[in-house]
Amino acid sequence: MLRRKHLTLLLIMLSVVIGANAQNTPATPSNFKLFFEKIYLHTDRDTYVKGDTLWFKAYLTNAQTNKPIKTSGTLYVDLIAPDAHVISTEFVRLNNGSGNADIELTDTLAAGKYRLRAYTNWMKNFGDAFIYEKEITIVDLSAPATPVTANKKDKKKASQPQTAPIIAPALPTVRFFPEGGSMIAGISSLIAVKAEDANGKGIPATGAVISAAGDTIARFKCDDLGMGLFALLPAKGQTYSATAKVANKQLPVQLPAVLSQGLALQVKQTDSLLHVVISNTSADPAQYTLTVKHSGQTIISQALASSGLQTAAKISSRDLPEGIVAVALYDTQGKPNCERLVYIHHPDFGYAKISTDKRVYAPFEKTTVQFDTDAGATNLSVAVVDAMAVPQQADDILSYLMLGSELHGHVEQARRYFDANNANRFKQLDLLLLTQGWRDFIWRRLTDTTIHIDHTAEKGISLSGFVKDEVNHKAMPALNVSLYASGLEGTKLFATRTDTKGHFIFADLAIYDKQFVKLSSINLKGDSKGTVYVDTFFTLPVKPVLNKRTDTLPDTVTPAIAALIKKAGTANQLKGVTNLKEVKITANKNIVTLDNGRKMMTWGDPQIFNITPQDNQYRTLTWFLQQRDKRAILNDANRPGVAYMIDGKKTQPLLMINGSMFHIDKELYFNMPIEKYKRVEVTQLVAGSRAFFLISAYTKQANPLIDNPGYLGLDVQGYYQARTFYKPVYEGEANPPKTDMRTTIHWQPYLKTDADGKATFSFYNTSGSTTASIIVQGIKDDGTPISEVLNYEVKQ
């Protein structure tokens, strides 16, 4: 009787929880309106020394308007190694469209080019179209502490401390881009040129355009970023080639084929007008539609009647929004004939000003900064760095949101196109738009009703899993699953029900740091049933950077990087840090006998992981291997666990648990909490011409499934709790420290302007004479990105 009362009470409690905090799989409503998100990370700098902390602020915006949005509350930030594997993933809480965190760049990281990748769960619906990536450089204290420039004689020597390229370098490339899209016979047009080295980086080039008869028709010259321009009047039936001198090599290049008939589009921009000229090889009357689009939205759609070889039109740019617009010409069947990208610039867009209370400061002195922008609320973040030790950042929130995120590929030195001190910036920007494709294919999907939404916009942490019968391992539907976490603020108990496939999900949980949670499954009678498993968190696949070096430094140790290395070395000496010598490991070969009696030889030493409490953050064996074993990759959707690449093919590993080989029900162990394991070994095996990977896992209990009938306790990784940046206060100190070696002098992830667009902040300078750089970035409520930099001097 006592047990029946207990069960009745439990069922009543669960029914109340389900009514109040029920968790159901989100469904897409019939009136749902598709939306797109963009993310930008403002980091304190782009170059670090091993052992540094990387600080960042995240901004989430509507991808079409750039206005801050609250559609997602969870951001995933990956640190990706030079060899394209994910080192770590942080869950960052987004509040009102922004969040902040930090990443410890441990001493164990190799020097090289790393990537930061940021995305929401919602962004996964559109491939990598809206996923943010940023390159950072980690240098080693063993690099030269003085500037080194590599030339032909000492280039090899200068690059010795660097990591070898992942992929063998290819030849430089030179490509040609006719304005509007095509070269039309008899119509003069501008031809843009783009020269790139084997790493995809723009490089200077010169060359000549030659006809089939061998006559030189035109010459071109590309700037430091590999971009150039020349005019050409193609002749009917003629073919053209070019001889380009690039990277001390003569390259023969074929120009695009000349079309015998068609349309050409030319756009020239003046202060307030776009001058559009449409040229046709036929003088017959024709009807066209001229459109101007911005972020997939049609701003202008005008019917045009052509009755000659040329038709001209003027468009007021004052009525167009700031940013990239696409001017396109469509025929009566709605087919686009030609397109031209133009950047619309308004002089007062993104106004911002930084001023300090003094022009020159003494070491340890307080600096007070006044920031001004247009009236209206602005969400900002601030970094102050030692400009003598940190190279200038390649981009900012303005150049990314307005330019970089709208174009194919990486935009080099994006900030130069928005630098008011750059007299050639508009000409350079026009060249960029002629040579780098637009991401129009994404916006065209706005009207595509066949888009299938597989990933929801998360408002919090999600924990999903499934329940199987502990005997036959079949899915168990219609079970009540409860989640209890004593460490949560507010509601601590949640409940849901398994679906027809035995799956369950707890969505939008406010979990911070690592929390121990208890999952239990019961049937309608209150009896504990099934074995509870949680799904493995999978990071997105990482695309390798083809033909790109992962060197710590390219061919030059710049003065700024040399200063950074020297400064970090001094700081480590003050802290008593000792750099360890490299340890070389010699591989051994042993014989392994499988359960079928087959003998295989090990290839190299096994990778051994002794599981510690710190490893519980990885939840499952799958997630653990994915994060800790650099060779493990995502498996196919219908296969459990991880896979390994052997000879370019995805290969399934062998799985041995406590010395016994498992061929079926592998998912039971791959999805088991990592805390149930005490050691995991990964060994490569060879037998004849075949190779395999063997995962040998050892559990704490002889039968780890025994303690899991209807119950599972595990640590769940929640939102990362950002640390507080150290801000010393030297005012009033009679004896300040002799040295303050901070490279990032000040980091303030949140700064809000008042109604008049003003904000004030202050900080204390470091020791020694240097140039400090104040970097303020952010976004206004109306979607206007803000970026401003001011340098000042510190003198002893």
CATH for 135: 2.60.40.1930
Q: 704, 733, 754: which is the final residue of a domain?
A: 704
**In a domain? residue 688:** yes
* 161 within some domain: no
Collapsing DSSP states into helix, strand and coil, what is residue 714? strand
- pLDDT of 355 reads 98
Q: Where are the beta strands (DSSP E) in 583-736?
A: 591-593, 599-602, 607-610, 632-634, 642-646, 649-651, 654-657, 660-662, 677-687, 690-699, 711-717
Kindly give the pairing relationship between strand 227-232 and strand 378-386: unpaired
Q: Does one domain contain both 63 and 136?
A: yes
Same structural domain, 600 and 672: yes
Q: Does 284 reside within a domain?
A: no
Within this chain, do residues 129 and 46 fall inside the same structural domain, yes or no?
Answer: yes
User: What is the tally of structural domains in the chain?
Assistant: 4
126 and 59, same domain (yes or no):
yes
Label the pairing between strands 286-294 and 323-330.
antiparallel
Same domain? 501 vs 522? yes
End-to-end CA distance of the chain: 84
In this predicted structure, what is the pLDDT of residue 140? 84
Distance of CA 261 to the CA centre of its chain: 43
* Final residue of a structural domain among 125, 147, 169: 147
Supply the pLDDT for residue 560. 66
Whether the pLDDT of residue 584 is over 50: the answer is no
**Cα 603 to chain centroid, rounded:** 35
Query: Nearest Cα to 205, choosing from 189, 190, 221, 229?
Result: 221
| Nearest residue to 54 (alpha-carbon basis) of 10, 115, 1 | 115
Look up the CATH number of the domain holding residue 192.
2.60.40.10
Residues 21 and 49 in one domain: no
**Residue carrying structure tokens 């469904």:** 27
The verdict on residue 222 lying in a domain is yes
* pLDDT tens-place string over residues 100-141: 999 999 888 889 999 999 999 999 988 888 999 999 999 987
Nearest CA-CA partner of 75 in 97, 93, 101: 93
Distance CA 368, CA 384 (A): 12
Q: Is residue 396 part of a domain?
A: no
Mean pLDDT value of segment 708-729? 85
Span 263-291, average pLDDT: 91
* CATH number of the domain that residue 499 is part of: 2.60.40
**Is 307 among the domain residues?**
no
- Is 138 in the same domain as 192? no
Per-residue pLDDT, averaged over 676-692, amounts to 86
pLDDT band at 151 (very low <50, low <70, confident <90, very high): very low
Three-state SS sequence of 365-419: CEEEEEEEECCCCEEEEEEEEECCCCCCCCCCHHHHHHCHHHECCCCCCHHHHHC
Answer whether residue 438 is part of any domain: no
Query: Residue 708's pLDDT band (boundaries 50, 70, 90)?
Result: low
* In contact, 533 and 466? CB cutoff 8 Å: yes
pLDDT band at 576 (very low <50, low <70, confident <90, very high): very low
Whether residues 65 and 11 share a domain: the answer is no
Amino acid 667: pLDDT = 75
pLDDT at 165 over 50: no
Confidence of residue 705 (pLDDT cuts 50, 70, 90): low
Q: What is the pLDDT of residues 225-254, one digit of tens each?
A: 999 999 999 999 999 999 999 988 899 999
pLDDT tens figures, 685-699: 887 677 889 999 999
574 falls in which pLDDT band (50, 70, 90)?
Answer: very low
Kindly state whether residue 411 falls inside one of the protein's structural domains.
Answer: no
Q: How many CA atoms lie within 13 A of 519 on its CB side?
A: 29
> Considering the chain, what percentage of its residues have pLDDT values greater than 70?
82
What kind and span of H or E run contains 342?
strand 336-344
Find which of 243-257, 439-453, 640-654, 707-721 is predicted with most confidence, using mean pLDDT.
243-257
Element (H, E) at 10: helix 2-21
Which helix (H) or strand (E) segment holds residue 49: the answer is strand 47-49
Model's pTM, two decimal places? 0.78
599 and 663 fall within a common domain: yes
| Model confidence band, residue 9 (pLDDT cutoffs 50, 70, 90) | very low
| CA 697, chain centre distance (Å) | 33
The residue assigned the tokens 């030692």 is 386
Residue 529 and residue 603 in one domain: no
The domain that holds 613 is classified in CATH as: 2.170.130.10
Together in a domain, 18 and 46:
no
One domain for residues 661 and 622:
yes
pLDDT at 779 over 80: yes
The candidate with the shortest Cα–Cα distance to 741, out of 7, 51, 41, is 51
Task: Please report where in the chains the tokens 């650099």 appear, as a residue.
Answer: 630
Burial of 249 (0-12, 13-18, 19+ CB in 10 A): exposed
With a cut of 50, say whether residue 162 has pLDDT above it: no
Q: Which domain holds residue 77?
A: 37-147
What are the Cα distances from residue 214, in Å, to 209, 243, 245, 586? 9, 11, 17, 61
Could you give the 3-state DSSP secondary structure of residue 243? strand
Average pLDDT of the chain?
Answer: 83
Q: Which residue from 776, 792, 791 is spatially nearest to 373, judged by alpha carbons?
A: 776
Q: Tokens at residue 36, please?
A: 């797109």
Residue 468 structure tokens = 């199987």
pLDDT at 548 over 60: no
The one-letter amino acid at 147: P
Q: Which of 121, 147, 173 is the last residue of a domain?
A: 147
Mean pLDDT of 48-75: 96
pLDDT of residue 552: 42
- H helices of 212-265, in order, are none
Residue 133: which residues within 8 A CB-CB, separation 6 or more?
A: 115, 116, 117, 118
Q: How does pLDDT run across 588-599, given as a tens digit for each residue?
A: 457 776 655 667
Determine which of 217-226, 588-597, 754-763 has the lowest per-residue pLDDT on average. 588-597
